[in-house]
Amino acid sequence: MKKYDLIVLGGGTAGMTLARSAAAKGWQVAAAESRYLGGSCINIGCTPSKALIYSAKLMHLVRTAGEYGIRTPAPQAEWKKVVERKNNVVQEMRQGSYRSVEKNDNITLYEEPAKFSGPQTVAVGERELEADKILIATGAGPAIAPIPGLEEAGYLTSTTAMEMESLPGSLLILGGGMIAVEFAQMFARFGVQVTIVQRSKQVGKKLEDEIASALQTILKNEGVEILTGTDILGIRRQNGRIALSVEREGKKQTLTADDVLVATGRKPNTDHLELDKAGVETDKKGFIKIDSSFATNVPGIWAAGDVVGGAMFTHKAWHDGMLLAKSLLQGKSIDNTDRLIPYAVFTDPEIAGVGLGEKQAKDQGIDVKVQQYPFKHVGRARATGRLEGLVKLITDQNNGKIIGAHIIGPEAAEIIHELVMAMRFNATVTDLQEMIHIHPTLSEAINSAGLST
């Protein structure tokens, strides 16, 4: 049995952030990853999807160039080349992950499935590994809704949709969350006839109402059909096409398309771990239960990243690993419940936010003040023709402290960081009002929102 200071299960952001930090301190670390280093983000998530989304954005820019006085022929997507470029981007980043491990003498990579054989032992293939400290960071994958006939009909996920050999003529997308809306717009821009089928009353149900409404309008204007308040009854493949039975507004109907993409959430990658042999507890959805220091119910075992549920973002997973490094390597007290985790949706325009939503704040009994400013009144937005969207600030009426900020607009995922910083250091709306912003920039919308009444 091989003894290590630390065993990390999973080669994604959370696990490898801690692994590299521990190795830098001289710890002997075992990292087990049966697929690819880099986790979901590099291999099947953020990186490949954003590469495809950028190609789709260029298609849209060329298609609408006439609005800017530029005459161009109608653009045509060479899907195989689009996918090839995406694969090259992924491969370059994946190789970077492997290089960082290969040059580190204190990290041993096991490229086989790993499972618990006891509270302090892990079986990797035919080998047994032991450590006083074990981190579970195996991530999450697509959760497939239990729809009658789905398995028999066949379906796409956010992973397999990026590997298609050719584009379908039409596509049904089940779900209305972040992944669903990003993929809906992307495929629509590539010329696919897209229909979103969503049980909730609006897409992006976790977004602020104004932002969800604006997003829905933008998608519809680009040709995406959106069916909200729709219950799915069953699915079948008929003559090579998908037939989806639904009920909407009390009426049953059948929707047809060339294929269907299921984007109904995420589930933890824990089925193979045999957690029962270590005694690790999970919630009813299978996500690992942790306390505010990432500790599980078993001493010496921690969990971080998507496998614990909650906000499933790569930047959050990185911060998980960083906090764990502070705790395990430096002996510092940490609290994973006391932090600001911004979010982004990479539609075009982008959506981003941080902190409380308006309803959340009111539900907590806070005396809320809401201030908004539309991008159509921002000089840079007008100059570039990007008039959609708004900045929404949520402040505590009693002290002016910013408690939430949400944006839909061009480059929202970039300009939100000013508001993350402001909240991180307890800035007030007065601070935003008095901060000089360069003109003309998109960021002026933040200053203008602070000045609005």
Distances (CA, A) of 262 to 142, 183, 266: 8, 11, 11
Of 443, 447, 406, 407, nearest to 430 by C-alpha is 447
Q: What is the structure's pLDDT at 100?
A: 87
Q: Could you confirm whether domain 349-451 is CATH 3.30.390.30?
A: yes
Q: How far apart, in whole angstroms, are the C-alpha atoms of residue 146 and residue 265?
A: 12
10: left (phi over 0), alpha (psi -120 to 50) or beta: left
Q: What is the structure's pLDDT at 102?
A: 87
Of 56-65, 200-209, 417-426, which range is least confident? Answer: 200-209
Number of other CB atoms surrounding residue 114 within 10 Å: 26
pLDDT in tens, 155-214: 999 999 999 999 999 999 999 999 999 999 999 999 999 999 999 999 998 999 999 999
* Domains 2-142+267-330 and 151-264 belong to one CATH topology: yes
Q: What is the structure's pLDDT at 205?
A: 87
Topology (CATH level 3) of domain 151-264:
FAD/NAD(P)-binding domain (3.50.50)
Q: What is the structure's pLDDT at 218?
A: 98
pTM above 0.85, yes or no: yes
Q: Which residues are catalytic?
A: 439
Q: What is the structure's pLDDT at 1?
A: 86
Please report which confidence band the pLDDT of residue 103 belongs to, taking 50, 70 and 90 as the band edges: confident
Q: What is the structure's pLDDT at 453?
A: 76
pLDDT in tens, 69-95: 999 999 999 999 999 999 999 999 999
Q: What is the structure's pLDDT at 88?
A: 97
> Which of 101-107's residues contact partners 24+ apart within 8 Å by CB, and which partners?
101/16, 101/31, 101/37, 104/20, 104/23, 106/22, 106/23, 106/24, 106/26, 106/27, 106/28, 106/29, 107/19, 107/20, 107/23, 107/29, 107/30, 107/31
Structure token pair of residue 324: 């764990």
Q: How far apart, in whole angstroms, are the C-alpha atoms of residue 83 and residue 55?
A: 10
Of 30-34, 99-103, 180-184, 284-288, which range is least confident? Answer: 99-103
Residue spans of the domains in the chain: they are 2-142+267-330, 151-264, 349-451
Annotated binding site for NAD(+): 175-182, 265
What is the side-by-side order of every strand in the sheet holding 193-197?
Answer: 225-227, 193-197, 170-174, 259-262
pLDDT in tens, 41-50: 999 999 999 9
Annotated binding site for FAD: 50, 306, 312-315
Question: Region 362-373: what's the mean pLDDT?
Answer: 97
- The DSSP-derived string for 123-182 is EETTEEEEEEEEEE---EEEPPP--TTHHHH--B-TTGGGG-SS--SEEEEE--SHHHHH
2 φ, ψ (degrees, to nearest 5): -90, 130
Residue 151 above 90 pLDDT? yes
Kindly report the average pLDDT of the chain as a whole number: 96
Q: How far apart, in whole angstroms, are the C-alpha atoms of residue 63 and residue 299?
A: 58
Q: What is the structure's pLDDT at 58?
A: 98
Annotated binding site: 50, 175-182, 265, 306, 312-315
Structure token pair of residue 425: 């250091």
User: 3.40.50.880, 3.40.50.620, 3.40.50.300, 3.50.50.60: which CATH number matches 2-142+267-330?
Assistant: 3.50.50.60
